[in-house]
Structure 1
């Protein structure tokens, strides 16, 4: 499968999952954006887990990495949604909540990405990579 098609199809799946999460956890403009928060934390953990495990295997095809990483996870998680929520909260005079959301998203996101990377590495029975490289074959 061509990587571009895998990204397109993965994007459809990730967007559908994100819409479902937004539907289940709606929020007001001045409320904590739980759906965006959860999507980004789940996405960072899963991406770390994949990068530390499945993607370290030479047999993992590039189209799968592109389709799941850039496609599914890229469309499920969105930095633009985080920044949009922060801007809206600030505009709604909820500056403290905006700062809290941004700070917790950053700290928890980094922690979950590292935890996913460590778990993926241990499940793959490989040492945790110190660097994740891409030779360009996935895109």
Structure 2
């Protein structure tokens, strides 16, 4: 029950942060930036914090905060919107930037988060 409550509290914060970035930056660029930043943050937390974190803290930060901050559904909507408008090259570029940026950010987060 404590883990569920932690996910709910984390989700409230993650959703509010996401909306704030969406309002400030505007979609679909905000979705790209959010997903890259979220990939980095989650990887950094997994490398640095997960080994010693309680299950409640992991639930709050992983599926709660970062699970609601980053969303694949927003990427899918951006891709469908671009392709429906006949913007195939921007859609492919957006997909490539999302995948490459997210993977690079996760790699960097894991690397920086390693204990030395």
TM-score scaled by length of structure 2: 0.96
Matched positions, count:
116
Higher helix share: 2
Match of 2:110 in 1: 117
State yes or no: 1:70 paired with 2:60.
no
Match of 2:85 in 1: 92
Which is bigger in relative contact order (C-alpha 8 A, separation at least 6)? 2
Q: From the CA coordinates, give the structure whose radius of gyration is larger.
A: 1
Q: How does 1:1-139 map to 2 (within 5 A)?
A: 2-27=2-27, 33-57=28-52, 60-121=53-114, 124-125=115-116
Q: Distance in 1 between matches of 2:13 and 2:100?
A: 27
Unaligned runs of 5+ in 2: none
Q: Distance in 1 between matches of 2:69 and 2:16?
A: 8
The offset of 1:114, in angstroms, is 0.8
Q: Distance in 2 between matches of 1:44 and 1:56?
A: 18
Structure 1 stretches of at least 4 aligned residues deviating more than 4 Å after TM superposition: none
Unaligned runs of 5+ in 1: 28-32, 126-139
Q: Distance in 1 between matches of 2:18 and 2:88?
A: 26
Q: Distance in 1 between matches of 2:3 and 2:100?
A: 32
